[in-house]
Structure 1
């Protein structure tokens, strides 16, 4: 039966009286073989969502069913690459066609001519199962690619090549299943983007994803395998914060998804990622990064797919036993793509025109994070950090509110902090992390019991400052008693000397947990000693004149990360400065 295009409405194509399509099946539309997906089937019409531009498509053109779901191609060569939302390699397309992607562009996703050195980890007669590692390849100088047995190809190894250099499509191993069927295995496999990869067990989230960013590690930590929402208006530093997090967090692999962002911003992001040096290895960061770029002028349906493409690649590396951090920038643009397609499908709109299924789609995305025991009995994780771009910095809009329901970490970016050059511009009054209790054992064992105790004291001081500022706004600071003036000053030291961080300073761009604890302890020691001086009846103004607060603020720049013994000098400095007050 010939399936023909009946009507075209942007990326939505209808076929009349079709009977041989399956829901979520991948199809090719028209003479240019545009990639599409079946999203609705009824007696009269089959509705197809096209992931490429439909400009020039005409009614009557043929639609070809493939029998499989929209899938990613997985194998060596993903790292260092830049893909669009439907996993087309942008570098190769640029080399072949120039700056713009033509409709129906068909380029090999991975380089099938490149040879890889394979070391096999199984032998003839071994029983292999889905997800088990059967070989290893040095994909980049930083990451070893572990070849996994694809789904449906379990069985006994009948033959296997010797260690050596092979191409992606070369047959490496032949497996015979329990029914006597033989399967040939090479280096590549396909996986449906909207289907989570199975694991043996979901493990508790008990290890933090350490980033060296004080406001995150101390105040609002995220666990390995956890989820975080980063809402912020225009110019609050969402993208820069994700860059800094990607560069310094202790994940093995970064998957950065630029979803619907402006083309010039995406270009800058891609150029910067290509130039960044991984501080842990002094090699280019791109060697452990996969970039997915779907700019705002690319087809809207592919924007929706880009999120799933990124997570599917992240799960593949997780199954090799790696810790993967997914940066989605931004999920608001993804939600807008859902809204546009929903409108073209004439579905009943819900709040602010978004489809009624927006919450469930957001939940499905964030639920793919987790710390897992993989099918090969390794431990790996996918952590998801999703940026949100609420219009007018309105955190009550549907995408932000529904994200809050499904993430356990919320880093609210503040326009006023950003304009005051306070970075990271995370508002400590609006942000929260629900991982503290889960991570407390790790912090107590690895850093010390004092860490969370000091953190709690910081939170109390900042909360108290927030209350006092209401009074200050009404009647001014001068009428406050000295002990309350001291709270405001210590809060300023915490804000400027601890929470504010300079990404361009060699010692302040990344701060180990040990130094974070020592900084907190010094600030709390200053508060304790200054309180004692005020209780002796000495004026707060004398404390300010001693310049002790400004000196403590500068520790972040003056104490190198590898010379923490210098903190002793600051304790002496505080004692001497306060002792000199008459």
Structure 2
């Protein structure tokens, strides 16, 4: 092991001399308190170390010891339902040792060493296996079955495989490889800054269904896709991420609270165990991993938390699961990069962020994807990444937002004006976009309804026309508009209030199936098309058409239960046709 001494301490940055034998990104233990850190720069025999714990009280001359291994996470049974800090230390175990306040130098195993898991073998003696092949399974929670896989770089013939209860450190299989016998446990380690390998990345053709109408209909994200949620303070970034964590069609959720306020993270920690998973009826924590790294924790650990989270997510992706990763927020991560870069005296880029900000963001987001995993069975897994961005003052022209937008394919731009109007989700339909729409259009048309993309385009056109007409109304008033334009504005209002506005606290409206979204689109457009036809023949009937009683039923269709959709849709459609016909049949005077 390489041992040196502290030369200089500057906040979370420690410079140690006598470290010639150490390597970049080695984990180190600093001082007699054994604070954990990571080497981020080497100059001769001097190593710059970012320390993941509070460094007050450290001084020159204290020992530094390199562990000769990169920063890694432990992967195996026990991950699900755990709450970790930014460097995968379990917060519940730390609390048992040090109480409610984090103490420095606490060494705790990431996976519990004393807990036994029921290992059910899938492979048998004599089988030839390669990296990624499943040796056995462990039922980790009621919802999640973890697959114990052959680690990367190992292949051979199964000599012995066991069944029964084991800890994560006990040997469950022995392989005969070219280099001799290899004992395998249920746990493996993986360096966090290196993406886990896969066979092939697949094109983004299937959507990640979220049940949020503005997302699924207008700005869908692909399975294995990346999305960004920029928005000012109070615009609902965290609310949207909670909704996606709860309702998105993902088997596993990894939630990273990166530099967020402590009270927000407390809400997450309190709410997630109590939230019922709509798919299984169990607690949402039964398929969730939480990484809590609040703004008052050491800044360097904030930088590590993003990598810790995505490595855990990749591990479950390799098992063939669909994983959704929520990073809240990448702006705090970028601020940690900026602070460390400043202390390293690197040349600053725009607004003081390091010049490599864009490449670091790209390295993170590029680890998402819909892939064929390693192994001879060709498992497909998907890792979708949704990153919140908190631009200062809501100004998305700042470097973190702009660097993110150059990488991601989906932009859900949150609008504080919509949030103040109590319109949630507060996604601005005029500034947001999804570059996956063209790829996934055929899927929606084939799997949901043949007119899905056509109806979506009609609704988008109405909303864009409304924005242009509003400019005219502001200048010269509503009376200047023709009857056709006024009807268009009414139809757009119906789209905004009846379709895009969604109540996350309402037991039915909180989630909308694709079938229901399609029927809602049809009803809103049916009102506009039927009324337009009647208006063309009877130009003076505009007010009567706008005030039709059926419009309230169209607005309340979103509260219809799933099993009553077809019946209610037909009833509303018939009533709409009847009311329009009645109005058209009356005299003009």
| TM-score band w.r.t. shorter chain | over 0.9
Q: Structure 2: how far apart are the matches of 1:228 and 1:18?
A: 41
Give RMSD over aligned pairs. 1.1
| Contact 2:373 2:380 survives alignment (8 Å) | yes
Q: Does 1:214 align with 2:213?
A: yes
Q: Structure 2: how far apart are the matches of 1:543 and 1:15?
A: 78
| Contact 1:440 1:452 survives alignment (8 Å) | yes
What aligned pairs does 1:155-304 form with structure 2 within 5 A after superposition? 155-161=156-162, 163-179=163-179, 181-304=180-303
What aligned pairs does 1:12-27 form with structure 2 within 5 A after superposition? 12-27=13-28
> Counterpart in 2 of 1:542?
544
Superposed displacement of residue 176, structure 1: 2.2
Superposed displacement of residue 456, structure 1: 0.6
> Counterpart in 2 of 1:344?
343
> Counterpart in 2 of 1:130?
131
Q: Structure 1: how far apart are the matches of 2:97 and 2:67?
A: 26
Stretch moving more, 312-321 or 99-108: 99-108
| Contact 2:550 2:572 survives alignment (8 Å) | no
Residues 1:111 and 1:18: Cα distance change in structure 2 (over 3 Å): closer
Superposed displacement of residue 128, structure 1: 1.9
Q: Structure 2: how far apart are the matches of 1:463 and 1:550?
A: 24
Q: Structure 2: how far apart are the matches of 1:418 and 1:158?
A: 61
SS in 2 for 1:217: helix
SS in 1 for 2:289: strand
Q: Does 1:83 align with 2:84?
A: yes
Stretch moving more, 315-324 or 530-539: 530-539
SS in 1 for 2:78: coil
Q: Structure 1: how far apart are the matches of 2:379 and 2:492?
A: 44
SS in 2 for 1:91: helix
Q: Does 1:571 align with 2:570?
A: no
SS in 2 for 1:260: strand
| Contact 1:482 1:539 survives alignment (8 Å) | no
| Contact 1:390 1:397 survives alignment (8 Å) | yes
> Counterpart in 1 of 2:511?
510
> Counterpart in 2 of 1:66?
67
Stretch moving more, 232-241 or 120-129: 120-129
Superposed displacement of residue 44, structure 1: 5.5
Q: Does 1:332 align with 2:334?
A: no
TM-score, normalised to structure 1, is 0.98
Q: Structure 2: how far apart are the matches of 1:43 and 1:508?
A: 62
SS in 1 for 2:562: coil
Q: Does 1:467 align with 2:471?
A: no
CA deviations over 1:246-276 (Å, ceiling 9, x no partner): 1011100000000000111110111111111
Q: Structure 2: how far apart are the matches of 1:97 and 1:153?
A: 39
Stretch moving more, 413-422 or 443-452: 443-452
Superposed displacement of residue 105, structure 1: 0.8
Superposed displacement of residue 219, structure 1: 0.3
Q: Structure 1: how far apart are the matches of 2:153 and 2:198?
A: 15
Q: Structure 2: how far apart are the matches of 1:204 and 1:464?
A: 33
> Counterpart in 2 of 1:412?
413
| Contact 1:123 1:160 survives alignment (8 Å) | yes
Q: Structure 2: how far apart are the matches of 1:73 and 1:2?
A: 25
What aligned pairs does 1:448-467 form with structure 2 within 5 A after superposition? 448-467=449-468
Q: Structure 1: how far apart are the matches of 2:553 and 2:482?
A: 24
Residues 1:18 and 1:92: Cα distance change in structure 2 (over 3 Å): closer
SS in 1 for 2:406: helix
Aligned length: 579
Q: Structure 1: how far apart are the matches of 2:300 and 2:234?
A: 26
Superposed displacement of residue 340, structure 1: 0.7
| Contact 2:3 2:66 survives alignment (8 Å) | no
Stretch moving more, 327-336 or 129-138: 129-138
What aligned pairs does 1:398-437 form with structure 2 within 5 A after superposition? 398-437=399-438
> Counterpart in 2 of 1:42?
43
Q: Structure 1: how far apart are the matches of 2:155 and 2:57?
A: 45
Superposed displacement of residue 550, structure 1: 3.3
Q: Structure 1: how far apart are the matches of 2:418 and 2:480?
A: 26
Q: Structure 1: how far apart are the matches of 2:356 and 2:212?
A: 35
Superposed displacement of residue 205, structure 1: 1.1
| Contact 1:552 1:570 survives alignment (8 Å) | yes
CA deviations over 1:501-520 (Å, ceiling 9, x no partner): 01111221111101111110
> Counterpart in 2 of 1:358?
357
5+ long unaligned stretches in structure 2 = none
Q: Structure 2: how far apart are the matches of 1:84 and 1:102?
A: 13
TM-score, normalised to structure 2, is 0.97
| Contact 2:487 2:546 survives alignment (8 Å) | no
Q: Structure 2: how far apart are the matches of 1:505 and 1:263?
A: 27
Superposed displacement of residue 17, structure 1: 4.4
SS in 1 for 2:120: strand
Q: Structure 2: how far apart are the matches of 1:292 and 1:489?
A: 45
Q: Structure 1: how far apart are the matches of 2:411 and 2:32?
A: 47
Q: Structure 2: how far apart are the matches of 1:275 and 1:427?
A: 31
Q: Does 1:8 align with 2:30?
A: no
Q: Structure 2: how far apart are the matches of 1:12 and 1:505?
A: 48
Q: Structure 1: how far apart are the matches of 2:552 and 2:331?
A: 40
Residues 1:211 and 1:2: Cα distance change in structure 2 (over 3 Å): closer
